[in-house]
Amino acid sequence: MKVDESIWAFFQNHLGYTDEEMKKFREDPKNEVVLSKASELMNKTIVVEVVESHGCNSQHKVGDKFYLDGAGNFISKLCPKRMCVFALSSFGGVVFGIHELFYAGADPNKMCFKRFGCSDVGVQCGGWGKVVFEIGMEDRKK
């Protein structure tokens, strides 16, 4: 699990850390675990698909897909043209879960609870619409 010095140097520059901050970063064992798997993670794509939708003001439809790189950054050119902030705010926790499983060496696609929804409660509960998503991870297409 040893991380090459060039990787540490890259991340110090990438994150804009001072030498003192980098020393603290390196002292945390979890950071070595994460960085030791970073190149493998960068060969993955996180896919969030709309599996149910009704009354969505942003017009998200069943089958729409949101693509994120392995680190959790949206690949905007592959995502729907319009992306609802209320829907996107629900992605954080499940992307975190995908990462945790990956770092632990488990298959993120075997997550038990991989469906989640936007924060709108739907018209029956006083909202407007409701969108349900399902998350997965796949090998990045070249």
For 74, counting Cβ atoms within 10 Å of its Cβ (0-12 exposed, 13-18 middle, 19+ buried), the class is middle
The torsion defined by the Cα of 114, 118, 123 and 127, in degrees rounded to 10, comes to 150
- Residue 142: its pLDDT value, please? 66
The 10s digit of each residue's pLDDT in 79-123 is 999 999 999 999 999 999 999 999 999 999 999 999 999 999 888
The 10s digit of each residue's pLDDT in 26-71 is 999 999 999 999 889 999 999 999 999 999 999 999 999 999 999 9
Alpha carbon distance 137, 18 (integer Å): 34
User: In the predicted model, what is the mean pLDDT of the chain?
Assistant: 94
pTM of the model: 0.90
Alpha carbon distance 23, 19 (integer Å): 6
Domain boundaries, the chain: 5-36, 44-139
Asked whether residue 1 carries a pLDDT value surpassing 80, the answer given is no
